[in-house]
Structure 1
Amino acid sequence: MKRLIIALTGVIMILGLTSCLGFKEPKSTNTMDETNGLSLENIFGTQTFEKPVGFEHREGYAEFIYVIEQPGRIVSMNLEKPEAEPVIVLDISDRVYDEGGEQGLLGVAFHPKKPNQAYVNYTTQTHTVISRYTADPDQSERLDPSSEEVLLTFEQPFSNHNGGQLAFGPDGYLYIATGDGGSGGDPQNNSQNLKTMLGKILRIDVDGKTGDHAYAIPPDNPFINQEVPEIYAYGLRNPWRFSFDQETGLLWAADVGQNRLEEINIIAKGKNYGWRIQEGTECFNPKNDCDTSGLEQPLFTYGRDIGVSITGGYVYRGEHLPDLAGWYIYSDYGTGTVWALRQDADGSIVNKTLLESEENITSFGTDSAGEIYLCTQEGQIFRLL
């Protein structure tokens, strides 16, 4: 129970669980189907990282992974030489504000066709910043901190619920996850407001330019003629982590709940995912008889008897775990449970427990071969075996 109290504190600080009233110690999930024989391998031994919140791979650098450290650094590690020291690829800690538990350097995406470009998502004390960095001309494996080109920035009314994920979709556009702006209960109703970037999935074309912007708006964005044409989908609370299925192209997003339900969504263009009208499948504001017409319902939810804060992952497309091909791998930060979820052709959902990790999992990542790794709040990187 002591570990769960520590973990719950971490959830409040890291992933935006704004209310733990009525929290119960999670029950066993052994009633779900079990996949035997899976484990976690600490691939870098005693090497730890400073508040790792994710990692990425980079085209042309198959042997490397790039760890995102929340205070403002990206460091690379060689998977073929795990004993080697980490290499600092980018250090922007001088411009990143990470005093709040949910602030800092929160996301990185390397351009799939221009690996000398990286896009980062970080916070200042008052704003979210999405910037582009280019490789150092003298050291192409590193990024030049003086090359920053700010693409967009928007104000954060509170310190929590900053989202953070960046990823390129199969269409070549950059997708950006934003939280509802924080506090609790979305007091400004940002998620339902199409005049703000908060509580959304945004989509921009980083290979083009429009007017004064260092990017273009994809011509089929659903709200292209409205005040915030960058919006791709809305009605999200804190979509901390999302990912694209490399085979189907579907966008999977895990949205952290308020105090009742964690949820998984398949994000589609122009759709409204319900927050703050609903939390998961239940009415939130108003508490009863809410109007759910036009709202997309979650693919899957779980409650406080199972976990306290969802950490989104990836659909597995690697080779070492063939039984998991096509399954979405995700976890709960507070309990350390790792699950696999699949939607069958008839629409039915199968969810099974993979392992009880006893780790505070902040994020997942994949290497260039599609194998899945996870980061922990304690600073370690594990590979799922």
Structure 2
Amino acid sequence: MPIFFVAISAVLVAGCVADNGDGDVSANIVASDQNLADSQITLNRVDSPQDAWIAVFSDSDGERGELLGYAPVNKGQNSNVRVNIDINQVQNISQSVIVQLFSRQGGVNTFDVNVSQPITVNNSVVVKTIVITRQNGGGNGDGQNASIDVADQNVLDDTVTVSSVTSPQRGWIVIHRDENGQAGEILGFAQVQAGNNANVVVDINGTAEPGTQEQLTAMLHTDAGQQGTFEFPNGADAPVTEDGEIVQEEFTVTWQESGGLDNNRAIVNLRLIAQGFTSPVAMASPDDGTGRLFVADQTGLIYALTPNGNGSFESELLLDLSENLVPLQANYDERGLLGLALHPDFGQNGKFYAYYTAPLREGAPSGFDHTNRVSEFTLPDVNSNVADLNSERIILEIDNPQFNHNAGHIIFGPDNYLYVPTGDGGGSYDISAGHNPSIGNAQDKNSLLGKILRIDVDSQDANGLSYAIPSDNPFINGGGRPEIFALGFRNPFHLSFDSFTGRLYASDAGQSSWEEINLVEKGRNYGWNIKEGSYCTQFQQGQSPYGEVGGENSTSPCPGEEDQNLGLTDPVIQYQNAAREGGIGSAVIGGYVYRGQIQSLYNRYIFGDLSMSLQNPQGLLLISEPVTGTQELLEASELQIGNSNDGRLNMFVKAFGTDSQQEIYVLTSGVIGPGGTTGKVYKLTESTNNQNTSNSQQNTATDPNY
């Protein structure tokens, strides 16, 4: 089950317990110097006279320094107690740490050094000092085993990526402009930890005309002065040397036009709310004064997080739907539990709704992959945090031909109707088996795939459906399926209503060229598979659909668009996919128009991208210029994270959510698929930084305080 807390980023892993039962156990810690394997240390034995915490701190001249990790121990003898360590706080290859025993106060899942009291024996605290050695690092001394690996690359949105940096200690990777064969002007820098650092992203200040090639140098510097502040050339952070030579690597960059984002970056901080999920994909919060957050994990689990009064959350498993799901592929899958919505009268009726991928139902077309299902569940009491699986009432089922493009982020609108986004059925270009062979599913008004549906779950249709059709749906009187509210979508995973204006926004993941955000209005056609973003698909131009899609001369009208009088609606935000030269990101993740208390974000659409790379977690947070409520195209930029070393998340962005106060949360995972336990939920908070911490040479590039 996920662990929930605020501000401390350690995973709790308890060892085996053997209580001798005599009620008078002395306190003792037995541990030896060891390698830091998989960011974890093991304490041979911890004896405690009561239920307690074992906490690990950095050694600051014999005093407790930064908290590195902690774990619960029980009264009695605890053997092989494993403690996960925050690797970002381990500054050197080898360093001493202080292990200390504390009383367990403040809740089983929450350790607070200001609340929990040190356990003492004969008026002396119970501590043990050991030396831990990082195993991913390189050597001792000034520059031994230090190395840099950086490839020639395009510069997009003023960033470069250094593939690998190995440093014997905490330091800086610095990008210099080449001046007559020597490292010259500093363009940018980013902090690196002791050991191996992969895919280090550095913001740079340099600019040049698109297409210009330039030689740059990546150089390793120490962090010998004030830690966390880059001090060079007027300071102590000198270049690292190895065998008398500066550790550096030259590379060539080609300056590119922005992939649809401008460079005027806003800044927020992130606060860790919960971790230990597999792949959190949806969140809902009842407006009932409890402050609860309901988080849906792709694996089929829904958790209820309840504030415990001291700034953290207690968790309970609200519902386990895992047995109802089609089996998932841990390395990558677009199926699973995908949506969660609370009834508008949740505070009175306790009803909530889930969108998930079930095994193919009886009578479904042969060869299809699964059935997408929307179901209603009811809590036995509105204040309960445990639901009964047997309360399920199936509302809607839609058969999906392929495993992908399921959309699913259901939401209730201001009109109290349920809005259900559906993908085009999967595959590519809406032309695979199970798709309308002439126009695709998204353009087929007789198919529920590739649409946004609107249904009334509080009524039942006279024809035996578990829902009714709102009387003003666009096809209520014919011409298409009456459930359809809008059409022409590829994979509109996320929907959100602006809580102030009531306008509906939907993200739509692109094929291989354009990622888009749409302002959705009743009856409109948003173009797929005729258009991707505001550009015609090459498929519609009679060329191979697997080549480069879209181009400068491929805007409307697209082939057949005028003949069919389709009146296609373009997105209000779009940017290029990384599969297209000069593009960024891999799949847009929709968010919300911000209506919380951070004034710099107010009236701007906050969203993200899954990752700049599908191989490494490089998710983006993005922000639009102020929304206008019209169909005009808005500019967007990267939303920088002020309490991150490089200003970025360094996780896959899976979804966004809001609480009852309209504050925004980002749901993330360290891996792309529904496997492992790296899933985390962060809350966006106001940053005290006023500028990019990794661009200004005398700014403090602080460690993440998630």
Moved more, 374-383 or 348-357: 348-357
Residues 132 and 149, structure 1, Cα contact 8 Å, conserved in 2: yes
Comparing 131-140 with 295-304, greater Cα deviation is found at 131-140
Question: Secondary structure at the residue paired with 2:447?
Answer: coil
1:92 corresponding residue in structure 2:
321
Q: Look up the match of 1:370.
A: 662
638, 648, 651: which one aligns with 1:353: 638
- Residue-by-residue CA offset, 1:205-242 (whole Å, 9 max, x unaligned): 11111121121100000011335210000000000111
Separation in 1, partners of 2:535, 2:601: 31
1:332 aligns with 2:605: no
One-letter identity of the residue aligned with 1:123: T
Distance in 2 of aligned mates of 1:234 and 1:190: 10
Corresponding residue of 2:584: 306
- The CA distance in 2 between the partners of 1:198 and 1:302, in whole Å, is 24
Question: Residue type matched to 2:288 in 1?
Answer: G
2:496 corresponding residue in structure 1: 243
- Of 168, 177, 190, 2:441 maps to 190
> Structure 1: which 5+ runs fail to align?
5-24
Aligned residue number for residue 252 of structure 1? 505
The structure having more radius of gyration, on CA atoms, is: 2
1:301 partner letter: Q
Q: Does 1:113 align with 2:396?
A: no
**1:384 matched residue in structure 2:** 684
Normalised by the length of structure 1, the TM-score is: 0.88
1:317–1:98 distance in 2 versus 1, CA, 3 Å: farther
Q: Residues 165-204 of structure 1 correspond to what in structure 2 (within 5 A)?
A: 165-187=409-431, 188=435, 189-204=440-455
Unaligned runs of 5+ in 2: 1-160, 164-197, 200-255, 360-369, 542-553, 578-582, 613-618, 641-647, 671-678, 686-706
Work out whether residues 170 and 249 of structure 1, in 8 Å CA contact, stay in contact via their aligned partners in 2.
Answer: yes
The one-letter code sitting in structure 2 at the alignment partner of 1:228 is R
Q: 1:162 and 1:348 mapped to 2: Cα distance?
A: 27
Contact 2:260 2:635 in 1 (8 A): no
Given the superposition, is the C-alpha separation of residues 27 and 270 from structure 1 closer, same or farther in structure 2, using an over 3 Å criterion?
closer
Deviation at 1:183, TM superposition (A): 0.6
Which residue number in structure 2 is paired with residue 42 of structure 1? Answer: 272
2:304 pairs with 1:76: yes
Aligned-partner Cα distance in 2 for 1:330–1:132: 28
CA RMSD of the aligned region, Å? 2.3
Q: Would the alpha carbon gap of residues 222 and 140 (structure 1) be closer, same or farther in structure 2, given more than 3 Å must change?
A: same
Aligned amino acid, residue 497 of structure 2: F
Aligned to 2:77: none
Could you tell me whether the CA contact under 8 Å between 1:343 and 1:350 is conserved in 2? no
Choose between structure 1 and 2: higher strand proportion. Answer: 2
Indicate the residue corresponding to 1:16 in structure 2: none
Residue 397 of structure 2 is aligned to residue 163 of structure 1: no
Counting only pairs closer than 5 Å after superposition, residues 11-26 of structure 1 correspond to structure 2 as none
Whole-Å Cα distance in 1 between the matches of residues 346 and 590 of structure 2?
26
SS in 1 for 2:442: helix
One-letter amino acid matched to 2:603? G
The question of 1:55 aligning with 2:283 is answered yes
After superposing the two structures, state which structure 1 stretch, 278-287 or 150-159, moved more.
278-287
Aligned counterpart in structure 2 of residue 209 of structure 1, from 438, 445, 460: 460
Residue 263 of structure 1: how far off its partner (Å): 0.5
CA gap 1:138/1:265 in 2 versus in 1, 3 angstroms: closer
> What is the Cα deviation at residue 377 of structure 1?
2.0
Q: In the alignment, what sits opposite 2:476?
A: 224
Is contact 1:26-1:306 (8 Å) kept? no
- TM-aligned CA deviation for residue 286 of structure 1: 0.9
What corresponds to 2:357 in structure 1? Answer: 123
Distance in 2 between residues matched to 1:300 and 1:28, nearest whole Å: 12
- Select between 106-115 and 260-269 the one with higher mean Cα deviation: 106-115
In structure 1, C-alpha distance between the alignment counterparts of 2:382 and 2:621, rounded to whole Å: 42
Return the offset for 1:28. Answer: 8.8
Distance in 2 between residues matched to 1:127 and 1:248, nearest whole Å: 34
Query: Could you tell me which residue of structure 2 aligns to residue 264 of structure 1?
Result: 517
- Take 2:352 and 2:317, find their aligned partners in 1: how far apart are those partners? 14
Render the CA deviation track for 1:35-94: whole Å, top value 9, x for unaligned: 24x1211123xx321211121101325411011011111101124456444201111111
Report the CA distance shift for 1:278/1:348 in structure 2 as closer, same or farther (over 3 A): closer
CA 349–48 in structure 1, closer or farther in 2 if over 3 Å, else same = same
Question: How far apart are 1:291 and its partner, in Å?
Answer: 3.5
Conserved? CA contact 2:402–2:425, under 8 Å = yes
Q: Which AA in structure 2 matches 1:208?
A: S
Q: For residues 629 and 447 of structure 2, what CA distance do their matches in structure 1 show?
A: 36
Aligned 1:275-314 pairs, distance under 5 A: 275-284=528-537, 285-287=539-541, 289-293=558-562, 294-304=567-577, 305-314=583-592
CA distance in 2: counterparts of 1:152 and 1:30, whole angstroms: 38
Distance in 1 separating the partners of 2:271 and 2:384: 30
Q: 1:366 to 1:194 in 2, by over 3 A?
A: same
Segment of structure 1 superposing worse, 76-85 or 364-373: 76-85
What displacement does 1:358 show? 2.0
- Return the offset for 1:306: 2.3
